[in-house]
Amino acid sequence: MRKNIKHILLLLVLLLLTSCSNNGEQASSSKKEPISLTVSAAASMQDSLNTIKKNFEEDHPDITLTFNFGSSGALQQQIAQGAPVDLFFSAAQDKLDLLIEDGFIRESDHIDLVKNNLVLITNKQSNTTINSFSDLETLDKEKIAIGIPESVPAGNYAKETLQTLHIWGKVQENIITAKDVRQVLSYVETNNVAAGIVYGTDAKTSDSVEIVAIAEESNHSPIVYPIGILKDSKNYEAAKTFYDYLQTPTSLKVFEEDGFIVN
């Protein structure tokens, strides 16, 4: 009788240990592995995306966002050369279109998310008499800062505006170029130039500059910000989660509060 009881007790212990082991394995397997997403984004998105990052990571603790901010043209070239990126947030449609044409992004995996406007800014402490884009042609040796037109969308929009107003040829010698709009903003903030042309959202981030003119939309190409998921992303599902999150009312409200135009 005692022998049978011992066998029963031993069997119960083995069953208990097996059950605990299985439960441990299930708990371990149900725990999500941490994922890190790399998002290459236009410099003008910096403030909005950093705010959205905080909200997103609170809702998705298993996903970490790493941003690579810069000019859209430079970021597009990095991706084309093989940079490991999960999502691309451009400040110009043509930069993202190139990646679609070259097979890096599927047509179905991109959306035009927000819009922006182009503004002329000066330093609040300067004594400049610039009050419009046309006033730029009255400058003597004073400098005007814009992004590099070939790689910085804001610089291209600035050039288009000045060409439409028929003053590009007159002010070209006064132009100094910057690697992105944030550098243009810095030049104006430090009073190293008489004026700069940036996005309205960038001007809004600074207490040192003032907007003296807003470019007419008809004077430049539409300022659209598309975002796309890279086809070869190793974390496609997580990237899709963030892609969808950017389209939620919570994220769009952040963009709107920062001055972007939400469709």
118-219: what fold? D-Maltodextrin-Binding Protein; domain 2 (3.40.190)
pLDDT in tens, 88-111: 999 999 999 999 999 999 999 999
Averaged pLDDT for residues 163-190: 96
Alpha helices in the chain (DSSP H): 2-30, 46-59, 72-80, 93-101, 153-164, 168-171, 181-189, 200-204, 236-245, 249-257
- Residue ranges matching CATH 3.40.190.10 in the chain: 35-115+224-262, 118-219
pLDDT at 239 over 80: yes
* 199: exposed, middle or buried (Cβ count in 10 Å: 0-12, 13-18, 19+): buried
Among 4-8, 176-180, 223-227, 235-239, the least confident range = 4-8
Longest CA span, the chain: 110
pLDDT in tens, 7-52: 554 555 455 555 555 554 444 444 568 899 999 999 999 999 999 9
Instruction: Give percent of the chain with pLDDT exceeding 70.
Output: 88
pLDDT at 214 over 90: yes
pLDDT the model gives residue 6: 55
The whole-angstrom separation of Cα 72 and Cα 174 is: 24
pLDDT at 238 over 80: yes
Question: Given strand 224-230, what is the order of strands in its sheet?
Answer: 63-70, 35-42, 87-89, 224-230, 105-115, 261-262
The whole-angstrom separation of Cα 71 and Cα 130 is: 27
pLDDT in tens, 192-203: 999 999 999 999
Quote the mean pLDDT of the chain: 90
Query: How confident is residue 232, by pLDDT bands cut at 50, 70 and 90?
Result: very high
pLDDT the model gives residue 8: 54
Give, rounded to a whole angstrom, the gap between the first and last alpha carbons of the chain: 81
35-115+224-262: what fold? D-Maltodextrin-Binding Protein; domain 2 (3.40.190)
CA distances (Å), 259 to each of 61, 67, 161, 200, in order? 28, 20, 21, 7
